[in-house]
């Protein structure tokens, strides 16, 4: 059975009715398969702990089959298509996601527990748009051409061609499963590559469902493949170490990126990484306070804090510090926790009980290190129906030392520490006092300061008077421990293509 049909949300798979759970299968060479491994693992709802599905874990042989299928597809019809033919198919993929919007929305919310209001406005539309954006970009991207003199006076012409890199391993995360997976698959396929995707074991369903759309859109078998499993000693390790993989793109935590980079060293294969962050926000006294509060609320609490670009360190100029903390507290306490389908819900659960244990450990560390808990700090009581979920309180602290674990390490939960500063120089120094360098936000109405401060912050993206405002043509990625390379626009094509110079003697 194709494993992309979920039980209805009001009929839990492990309810007394005895409804059978869905099974999430691999998608290899255009066909759904349970594989050869024989092992399955549970995918449980972070909302109430119910069993959503059983996921088949890939064996080494399954991963090998997927990579071989991708390798064969490189030499098949996919390689013989014109750019126009290939991009037309990718537009059909985007249209297929949109046509099955409700199916993808149900699957994404079942896996993540995030509010439907969030997933319906961001995750699914962007998941579809990524295919059209990169298809259109590839059709119009330019390369260079140079004329040169030669000793015989006849000259020569040099021009560059983009060739696909080959088989790309895509390791995608659980926080924005469809969006961040297609953010990689879209440009990879647009450039003529084939892919093997290993989605997070926490959120396998929308990636599996995409196989149906690929078939319907006319994507040749083997171009898009999906294997499920974990990292070490499972599908992730088998895939990244596979000698027939030509490049690896990964979004996730920095330690996992380090492990993948070691695997990629064999064969000297390139990597593209978007890794962890400990992102700062600098709030100056001349800011638009309403906008700064609204933007910081989103950057701290959106998706229950499970956003790589989210803010965990907030620095506020001292004259407005007390007011800012008070208003941020009021905003956090007004958040509505509940089921994804409830239109009033604007904060979902964490992804899993294991991740909640991690976040709660930081909540305890904050208190042990002397933090003042402005609000939150524990687990909410949402009644017996949601008691099995991975719920946690949105939390704000003040009073921590700059070298405490809570200030140095990525938590990835709905929490932040707010600290005052007195000068612009101090604010920039605090923002840069981190091993990470992914994103930052600056709130000021002073145009000169906005340019001056943003230029000095060590981060791949700096928002001024906004957050999560993205033009997808622009470079996206982090510095320091936050990643390698850039995604987005023509910058993302650099990883997915090999540039070949052709020299024509006239």
- Give catalytic residue positions: 274, 308
d(CA 462, CA 454): 6
CA 42 vs CA 24, 58, 111, 201, 228: distances in Å: 10, 14, 11, 9, 12
> What is the sign, positive or negative, of the torsion defined by CA atoms of 80, 157, 141, 455?
positive
What DSSP line would sit under 176-203, residue for residue? SHHHHHHHHHHHHHHTT-EEEEE--TTS
Which residue, among 266, 308, 240, 230, has the nearest Cα to 483 in the 3D structure? Answer: 308
Structure token pair of residue 487 = 């995604």
d(CA 441, CA 454): 9
Residue 8: CB partners within 8 Å, gap ≥ 6?
none
Query: Counting beta carbons within 10 angstroms of the beta carbon of residue 142, is it exposed (0 to 12), middle (13 to 18) or buried (19 or more)?
Result: exposed
**DSSP reduced 3-state for 399:** coil
CA atoms within 13 Å, Cβ hemisphere of 279: 33
Strands 415-421 and 395-398 come out as parallel
Residue 439: CB partners within 8 Å, gap ≥ 6?
277, 279, 308, 309, 459, 460, 461, 462, 463, 478
Question: Are 427 and 405 contacting, i.e. CB atoms less than 8 angstroms apart?
Answer: no
Please report how the helices 83-99 and 205-217 are oriented relative to each other, as an axis angle in degrees rounded to 10: 130
CA 81 vs CA 162, 192, 260: distances in Å: 15, 9, 32
CA 38 vs CA 54, 60, 276: distances in Å: 12, 12, 34
Q: How many CB atoms neighbour CB 381 within 10 A?
A: 9
d(CA 108, CA 120): 10
């Amino acid at each position: 059975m194709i494993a992309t049909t979920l039980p209805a949300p009001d009929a839990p798979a492990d309810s007394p009715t005895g409804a059978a759970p869905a099974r999430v299968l691999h998608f290899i060479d255009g066909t759904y398969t349970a594989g050869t491994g024989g092992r399955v693992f549970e995918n449980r709802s972070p909302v109430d702990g119910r069993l959503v599905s059983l996921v088949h874990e890939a064996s080494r042989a399954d991963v090998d089959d997927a990579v071989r299928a991708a390798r064969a597809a490189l030499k098949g019809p996919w390689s013989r298509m014109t750019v126009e033919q290939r991009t037309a198919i990718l537009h059909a993929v985007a249209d297929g996601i949109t046509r099955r919007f409700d199916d993808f929305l149900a699957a994404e919310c079942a896996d993540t527990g995030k509010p439907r209001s969030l997933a319906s406005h961001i995750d699914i539309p962007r998941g579809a748009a990524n295919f059209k954006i990169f298809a259109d970009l590839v059709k119009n991207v330019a390369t260079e051409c140079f004329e040169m003199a030669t000793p015989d006076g006849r000259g020569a012409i040099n021009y560059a061609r983009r060739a696909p890199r080959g088989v790309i391993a895509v390791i995608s995360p659980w926080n924005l499963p469809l969006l961040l997976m297609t953010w990689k698959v879209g440009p990879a396929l647009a450039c003529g590559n084939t892919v093997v995707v290993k989605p997070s074991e926490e959120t396998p369903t929308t990636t599996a469902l995409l196989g149906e759309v690929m078939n319907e859109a006319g994507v040749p078998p083997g171009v898009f493949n999906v294997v499920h499993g974990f990292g070490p000693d499972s599908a992730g390790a088998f895939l990244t170490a596979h000698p027939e993989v030509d490049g690896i793109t990964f979004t996730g935590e920095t330690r996992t990126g380090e492990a993948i980079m070691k695997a990629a060293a064999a064969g000297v294969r390139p990597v593209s990484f978007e890794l962890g962050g400990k992102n700062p926000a600098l709030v100056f006294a001349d800011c638009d306070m309403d906008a700064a509060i609204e933007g910081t609320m989103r950057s701290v609490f959106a998706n229950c804090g499970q956003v790589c670009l989210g803010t965990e360190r907030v620095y506020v100029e001292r004259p407005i510090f007390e007011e800012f903390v008070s208003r941020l507290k009021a905003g956090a306490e007004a958040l509505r926790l509940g089921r994804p389908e409830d239109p009033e819900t604007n904060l979902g659960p964490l992804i899993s009980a294991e991740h909640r244990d991690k976040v709660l450990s930081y909540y305890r560390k904050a208190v042990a290190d002397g933090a003042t808990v402005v609000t939150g700090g524990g687990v909410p009581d949402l009644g017996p129906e949601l008691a099995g979920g991975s719920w946690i309180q949105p939390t704000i602290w003040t009073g921590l030392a700059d070298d405490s674990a809570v200030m140095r390490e990525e938590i990835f939960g709905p929490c932040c520490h707010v600290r005052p500063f007195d000068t612009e120089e101090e604010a920039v120094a605090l923002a840069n006092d981190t091993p990470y360098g992914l994103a930052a936000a600056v709130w000021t109405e002073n145009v000169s300061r906005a340019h001056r401060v943003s230029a000095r912050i060590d981060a791949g993206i700096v928002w001024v008077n906004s957050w999560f405002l993205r033009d997808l043509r622009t470079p996206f990625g982090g510095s320091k421990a936050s990643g390698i390379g850039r995604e987005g626009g023509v910058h993302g094509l650099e990883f997915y293509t090999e540039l070949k110079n052709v020299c024509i003697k006239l």
